[in-house]
Every structure is written in structure tokens, then in C-alpha cells.
A and B are shown apart, each in its own frame.
Chain A
């Protein structure tokens, strides 16, 4: 079983001590199991502990308690295995600002030298949609292009696990769709993807499962479709009657619509039936803490 999971976390704890407020648990006992080949999203408000958790998994930070295995190894105890472990993971950090004076192609080609089995740099540049910008200096890229370069550098080593920390910040809608397709393609090739994001639609479009973190604890782990009882939640039915907007909630929306239709003798003006969106559910969840 342990060999099957890409990420295994039990009772993860991290405490920061600030002079003003004393010790604070940034991560207060988190359990996670991410299977191989899965896209797993971590959602949560700012300061919930998402980035701390992910940076512990990436081997950037120490932890204060709990057990962590990423690809079967404890990232805090790599020692001489550091190279072989890093060779198998890819990391897309939050905003970066480095290598301004190099071109896209120079940077991607160079990073390929770090790995034992890299992807083809030209193919990667193409996949992230930067072929037209391959010769451009990084300082001339837009925010979204810069982000796509970050992704290119994250996947150039052909990783088994890809960590994506808010990857589509600053993307236009078209670029986001293209990016999502790329991530799905990586998943289909067997890459495990751990995604943190602010965008609920992104989690819904991509994630096989999502975890909601608030105040350093996991509230729920579920599929996007059933998070927070979304699949069984009441539907909202709205229509226009005598110039006034009407709205009811129901567990049996179809029956309500049939009744309405009978009352209006056919079509119901401005009829909508909506299930709560992932965003509605999420906001309700983080509001309750």
C-alpha cells in the first residue's frame, strides 16, 4: 500500500513563533494520501497553511511533527539520496523573478542538463505555448508567459510528481484552458500532480480530489462534485412571476419545475435551476470555521 501512494502524510505539524503573537500552528495535524497518477488540489484561504504544507512536501521546510513520505522518501531526511529524489519531482513555485537576462530557450535547455531523463526542451517550450517567445529575454515576458516558463522548468525533468503552487495566476482565459489541457495530458501520462489554487473553477476542472485546509487543519477531502455534500444539496429554482423574481430551494427540483410548468401552462419565464457551485460550497465551508 505505502508503495502505491505518491504522497503520504500523517499528523503533520508546523509551528511558527512570532515576537508579537507567540507560537502559532501554521499546520496543525494534517493527514493526506495522494495516489499515483492523481490530480489532487489543496484549497484554502490565504494563511490557511497551504504553502507551508506544500513546501514541507517539497523539502524546502522542516516540520515540527508527523510523518511524511513523498515517493516513499522523507523529504526532511534525504541525505545523499537528495539527487535521486529531486530528479523525480518537479516544482512550480509561487511567483519567481530570476534569470531575467536569459532567453526562454536558453533557460529551458540549461535546466534539462540537471536531470537524468529530461524531456525534449523544444517540445516542452511548445507544450507551454512559448514557441514564439523562445528567443525572447525573460524580462520581456508578460506575467502569464513567465508563469508558463515556470511550468516548463517544472516539467523539464520528466517528474513523477509535479507540485504546482497557484500556477495560473495572471493567465488570460485562453491560456488557462491551454494550461489545463497540458496538466490533464501530464496526468494521463502518469504524472501525479499536487495543485494549490485560489481558483475554484480550476480545482473543479482539473482535480480528481480536493482537500480544503483552514487554520492548518483539513476540513474535508472529497471529489469536487461531492465536496461539502454538494451532490445532495438543495437546488435553487428561480423564475419571474408578475414582474417579480421568485426563488425556492428544493431537494426535488424536477418535481418543482413540473408543478411550475403546470401553473404557467407551459414555459416558465426566466426559469433557472442551479446546484450550488463549488465556490458556494467552499465559501460556506471556510465561513463556518
Chain B
């Protein structure tokens, strides 16, 4: 009987997580780097952005959103070309395993890494910087689907982008600048509504801006919504943008995904 593609995908996810946890550098970078950033920014910027909204509170929303981009898009767009160089993908291609199972495995890895990262960030933030955690069930639910959909979207875009770097050595140089620019444009490090309009409009084309906004809707008080560019959190728009990018990314990934460089 033909093995189930989804089941094999989750088995691959288990394997990916095991491999990930055994590489100390990747664990430190993915899980501790956001905590370090929060520590640095939280120590430097002490003031309140609005009554009851500390900079740390604002920054955590941006850190979690950009964590989704780092852990999914950036990590995979660099890791997959390396896997091509190492022959991992060539070997898989010689087996009956479906690319879909491989994609699912990556998404599982990204989702699990995100959950751990978010846990670390919130625990650290609450303990040291008085971070307020989401206070309603509705916000927690929204937080959950944002992390889930954000992980999937970021994963599939990372897989689609992995066709561009020629090899693992050059991948980081191609991918990292894109991510850093998007972080600045999307209001991760600065308050989005204070950015120039052209920057805001450019950022609105990509998922990170919407993820960041979604995370603000989870972590900032309802009153802060009026300070958004659109005077609201725009939750339905966030879902539409993420779903659109996920669909486009899936089509691209299935068409361009390369098991080897030949």
C-alpha cells in the first residue's frame, strides 16, 4: 500500500526537529537570538509609546512576527541550498517520497521551533520587562492561528525562494538583506505608523507587515488600534494576505523546487 503523503510528512517533521535540536548553533541562533535582541532593545528604550504601552510590549510583537520570517523563510532559503549541496535532496529524490511530504516536514519544523521561540520570548519578556501577555481567549486564538498560518506561509515562501541561490555558500548573502530590509520597512524596529508612506505601501505588499500588525493586535491594548495607519487592526485583511501568499508560494514551490542543482 502506498504510504500516506501527510503521515510521511509528519514523520519527516519529527526527523527534521531531531536534526535541528542536535545542531547547537541553529538552536542558539533561532531560539536565543530573539531573546537577546529583546534584552538589548528593552534595556535601551525604556519609555512608553502610549499610555500603558512600553516599547518592549511593542517590540515583542515585531520580534515574534519577524521570528516567523527568520525561522521559516530565511532559515529554509539558506538550509535547502545546503541540503542540495550535501546530496540530501538528491537521495530523497531517488526514493518514492513526495515533495509535499518534504514540504510538510519543513513546516512542522518551523512551527515547532516557533512555538519554542515564542515561549522563550514571552517568558523572558514577562519576567524581565513586565510584558503583558494576551488577556482574552479571543486574542490567544488569534495568536494561535497567526503562528500557524504564519509558519506555513513563511515555510512555503522559503522553499520557493530556495530555488534562487545557486549553492549553500552564497545563500545567506542573497537572503539575509531581503529579510533585514523587510524588517525595517514593516515596523519591527520602529513604530510602523511613523514610517514614510512609500515605505508603508511597499511593506504592505509582503506578509511581514501584516504579521507584525497581527501580533500588535494580540499584544497591544485595543485602544492602540486607532494609532494604526488604517485606524484598525484589519484582521480579515491579514488573513487574506497570508492565505494569498501561501497559495502563491505553494504554486511557485511546486513549480520551481529543485531536488538538485543539475
Chain A residues engaging chain B, CB cutoff 8 angstroms: 58, 60-61, 82-84, 86-87, 89, 91, 93, 95-99, 101-102, 106, 110-111, 113-116, 137, 153, 157
Nearest to B1 among chain A residues (CB) is: A116
CB-CB under 8 A from A153, the residues of chain B are: 91
Contact of A106 among B1, B18, B88, B91 (CB under 8 A): B18
Cα–Cα distance between A60 and B261 once the two chains are bound (Å): 11
Cα–Cα distance between A115 and B8 once the two chains are bound (Å): 10
CB-CB under 8 A from B2, the residues of chain A are: 83-84, 87, 116
Contact of B262 among A61, A89, A115 (CB under 8 A): A61
Cα–Cα distance between A62 and B161 once the two chains are bound (Å): 24
**Please, what's the 1-or-0 string for B207-226, where 1 marks a CB less than 8 Å from any CB in chain A?**
00000000000000000000
Contact of A58 among B3, B87, B94 (CB under 8 A): B94
Contact of B95 among A60, A61, A101, A157 (CB under 8 A): A157
CB-CB under 8 A from A86, the residues of chain B are: 94-96
Closest Cβ–Cβ distance, residue A224 to chain B (whole Å)? 28
CB-CB under 8 A from A137, the residues of chain B are: 22
Contact between A93 and B95, CB atoms less than 8 A apart = no
- 7 pairs across A/B with beta carbons < 8 Å? A93-B90, A102-B18, A106-B18, A114-B8, A114-B97, A115-B3, A116-B96
Contact of A96 among B23, B87, B95, B98 (CB under 8 A): B87
Cα–Cα distance between A89 and B96 once the two chains are bound (Å): 9
B176 within 8 A of A: no
Cα–Cα distance between A97 and B88 once the two chains are bound (Å): 7
CB-CB under 8 A from A82, the residues of chain B are: 96
Contact of A101 among B1, B23, B98 (CB under 8 A): B23
Residue total for B at the interface (Cβ-Cβ under 8 A): 26
Closest Cβ–Cβ distance, residue B175 to chain A (whole Å)? 21
Nearest to B20 among chain A residues (CB) is: A101
Contact of B86 among A87, A89, A97, A116 (CB under 8 A): A97
Contact between B86 and A157, CB atoms less than 8 A apart = no
Contact between A83 and B98, CB atoms less than 8 A apart = yes
B141 within 8 A of A: no
Contacts A87-B96, A106-B15 given; indicate if A98 touches B3 (C-beta within 8 A): no
Contact of B96 among A83, A99, A101 (CB under 8 A): A83
Cα–Cα distance between A60 and B258 once the two chains are bound (Å): 11
Closest Cβ–Cβ distance, residue B255 to chain A (whole Å)? 15
Contact between B94 and A113, CB atoms less than 8 A apart = no
CB-CB under 8 A from B22, the residues of chain A are: 101, 137
CB interface residues, B 1-23, toward A, < 8 Å:
1-3, 7-8, 11-12, 15, 18-19, 22-23
